[in-house]
Protein backbone atom coordinates (compact mmCIF):
# COMPACT_ATOMS: atom_id res chain seq x y z
CA UNK A 1 0.00 0.00 0.00
CA UNK A 2 1.25 3.44 -0.91
CA UNK A 3 0.09 6.84 0.24
CA UNK A 4 0.46 10.12 -1.64
CA UNK A 5 -0.71 13.23 0.12
CA UNK A 6 -0.78 16.98 -0.06
CA UNK A 7 -3.28 19.73 -0.65
CA UNK A 8 -5.15 21.32 -3.52
CA UNK A 9 -7.36 24.37 -3.91
CA UNK A 10 -10.97 23.37 -3.37
CA UNK A 11 -11.93 24.83 -6.77
CA UNK A 12 -9.64 22.20 -8.36
CA UNK A 13 -11.23 19.17 -6.74
CA UNK A 14 -13.35 18.10 -9.70
CA UNK A 15 -10.55 18.12 -12.30
CA UNK A 16 -8.26 16.42 -9.78
CA UNK A 17 -10.75 13.59 -9.24
CA UNK A 18 -11.58 13.31 -12.95
CA UNK A 19 -7.92 12.96 -13.94
CA UNK A 20 -7.06 10.58 -11.11
CA UNK A 21 -10.10 8.50 -12.05
CA UNK A 22 -8.91 8.39 -15.65
CA UNK A 23 -5.53 7.06 -14.51
CA UNK A 24 -7.16 4.19 -12.57
CA UNK A 25 -9.69 3.45 -15.31
CA UNK A 26 -12.77 4.69 -13.47
CA UNK A 27 -15.52 6.70 -15.17
CA UNK A 28 -16.03 9.59 -12.73
CA UNK A 29 -19.40 11.14 -13.57
CA UNK A 30 -21.90 13.74 -12.38
CA UNK A 31 -23.33 11.42 -9.73
CA UNK A 32 -19.87 10.86 -8.28
CA UNK A 33 -19.29 14.61 -8.24
CA UNK A 34 -22.58 15.36 -6.48
CA UNK A 35 -21.78 12.75 -3.83
CA UNK A 36 -18.31 14.16 -3.18
CA UNK A 37 -19.45 17.80 -3.08
CA UNK A 38 -22.08 17.09 -0.44
CA UNK A 39 -19.72 15.04 1.70
CA UNK A 40 -16.78 17.45 1.55
CA UNK A 41 -18.90 20.29 2.96
CA UNK A 42 -18.92 18.63 6.39
CA UNK A 43 -15.21 17.77 6.54
CA UNK A 44 -12.60 19.28 8.85
CA UNK A 45 -8.90 18.45 8.64
CA UNK A 46 -8.38 19.09 12.36
CA UNK A 47 -10.78 16.34 13.46
CA UNK A 48 -9.70 12.71 13.16
CA UNK A 49 -13.28 11.79 12.21
CA UNK A 50 -13.66 14.84 9.96
CA UNK A 51 -12.34 13.24 6.77
CA UNK A 52 -14.29 11.85 3.83
CA UNK A 53 -13.15 8.80 1.86
CA UNK A 54 -14.19 8.06 -1.69
CA UNK A 55 -13.16 4.88 -3.54
CA UNK A 56 -12.16 4.98 -7.19
CA UNK A 57 -12.42 1.42 -8.46
CA UNK A 58 -11.23 1.16 -12.01
CA UNK A 59 -10.09 -1.28 -14.62
CA UNK A 60 -6.44 -0.82 -13.74
CA UNK A 61 -6.33 0.04 -10.05
CA UNK A 62 -8.33 0.76 -6.97
CA UNK A 63 -7.54 3.77 -4.81
CA UNK A 64 -9.19 5.56 -1.95
CA UNK A 65 -9.14 9.34 -1.90
CA UNK A 66 -9.38 10.90 1.57
CA UNK A 67 -10.42 14.55 1.69
CA UNK A 68 -10.84 17.23 4.33
CA UNK A 69 -11.28 20.98 4.23
CA UNK A 70 -8.51 23.00 5.82
CA UNK A 71 -9.96 25.00 8.67
CA UNK A 72 -10.13 28.67 7.77
CA UNK A 73 -8.93 28.25 4.20
CA UNK A 74 -9.83 27.33 0.64
CA UNK A 75 -7.57 24.30 0.61
CA UNK A 76 -8.48 20.64 0.70
CA UNK A 77 -6.08 18.20 2.30
CA UNK A 78 -5.90 15.10 0.11
CA UNK A 79 -4.48 11.61 0.58
CA UNK A 80 -4.52 8.95 -2.13
CA UNK A 81 -4.16 5.42 -0.73
CA UNK A 82 -3.96 2.08 -2.45
CA UNK A 83 -1.71 -0.26 -4.33
CA UNK A 84 -0.15 2.47 -6.42
CA UNK A 85 2.26 1.60 -9.18
CA UNK A 86 5.30 3.86 -9.36
CA UNK A 87 3.69 5.54 -12.40
CA UNK A 88 0.37 6.14 -10.62
CA UNK A 89 2.19 7.42 -7.54
CA UNK A 90 4.04 9.99 -9.69
CA UNK A 91 0.82 10.97 -11.47
CA UNK A 92 -1.06 11.47 -8.20
CA UNK A 93 1.81 13.52 -6.79
CA UNK A 94 1.96 15.59 -9.99
CA UNK A 95 -1.79 16.26 -9.85
CA UNK A 96 -1.45 17.45 -6.26
CA UNK A 97 1.38 19.79 -7.24
CA UNK A 98 -0.47 21.12 -10.28
CA UNK A 99 -3.78 21.74 -8.49
CA UNK A 100 -2.16 23.47 -5.52
CA UNK A 101 -0.43 26.02 -7.75
CA UNK A 102 -1.71 29.54 -8.26
Question: Residues 6-56: pLDDT tens digits?
Answer: 999 999 999 999 999 999 999 999 999 999 999 999 999 999 999 999 999
DSSP collapsed to 3 states, the chain: CEEEEEEEEHHHHHHHHHHHHHHHCCCCCHHHHHHHHHHHCCCCCCCCCCCEEEEEECCCCEEEEEEEECCCCCEEEEEEEECCCHHHHHHHHHHHHHHCCC
Question: Confidence class of residue 1 from pLDDT cuts 50, 70 and 90?
Answer: low
pLDDT per residue over 3-16, tens digit each? Answer: 999 999 999 999 99
Question: Confidence class of residue 83 from pLDDT cuts 50, 70 and 90?
Answer: confident
pTM for the predicted model, two decimal places: 0.94
Amino acid sequence: MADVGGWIWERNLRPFLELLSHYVGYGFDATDWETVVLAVEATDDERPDGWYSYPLVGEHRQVEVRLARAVGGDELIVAVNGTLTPELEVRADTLLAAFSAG
